[in-house]
Structure 1
Amino acid sequence: MKVGGAPGAGGLAPLTRVASYVPTAFGVGASTKDLQSTSRYNTYVRPGLPPGPIGNPGADAIEAALRPATGPWLFFVVTDPEKGVTKFAASEREFFKLVRERKKHG
């Protein structure tokens, strides 16, 4: 996804992590109800970016943004939320493999 663009129709950028900031949502994923919310933070139904910050990054996150690891990754999936395991993929095929792995963890 390029800056200013979106993969979906109508300028939607369906980001589950952002949808998780809907006031009733908690945890790693977003429920069907969350994804249908009219919240201004629900990027599944509202085009463009959310109206403001969705979090306050810590020092490690800022350092990672300033000096990212070298690699071809385009996607990330929290494959094991209980253990906090996040894996990265460079292709859509790899991404869907990680999604299947995630579904094994509930």
Structure 2
Amino acid sequence: MATTVPQREFTITGEYEYDRRTPTRWVLAHVWRYPWLPIVFVLTVIGMAVAQSFGAISIGRAFDALIGGGGAAALGAAALWVTASYLGYGAFDIVNSLALRVLGQRVER
């Protein structure tokens, strides 16, 4: 029975063992070591889609308020909803980019 010797000069005690059988398994082993990052990514993608859709709906409502003679109050409220939806989109986008960056750096190590 042959024992395997690592082909490197130094070893780390308690080192995390990754599945190195195929490149796909190796990448997935890194990704699933931090399971909350893919979850955050998926949730922020959904949040970005919702915010983008709500922004378009709010723009339509602002247009309806302007055409229908809703007055300055209705137009102002619609403008605030448009602003809030795109600020929400930006916040989701920042968190999404951060999650991808952290995941990429963790896999790179």
TM-score band by shorter chain is under 0.3
Asked which structure has the greater RCO (Cα within 8 Å, sep 6+), the reply is: 2
TM-score under structure 2 normalisation? Answer: 0.17
| Structure whose alpha-carbon radius of gyration is higher | 2
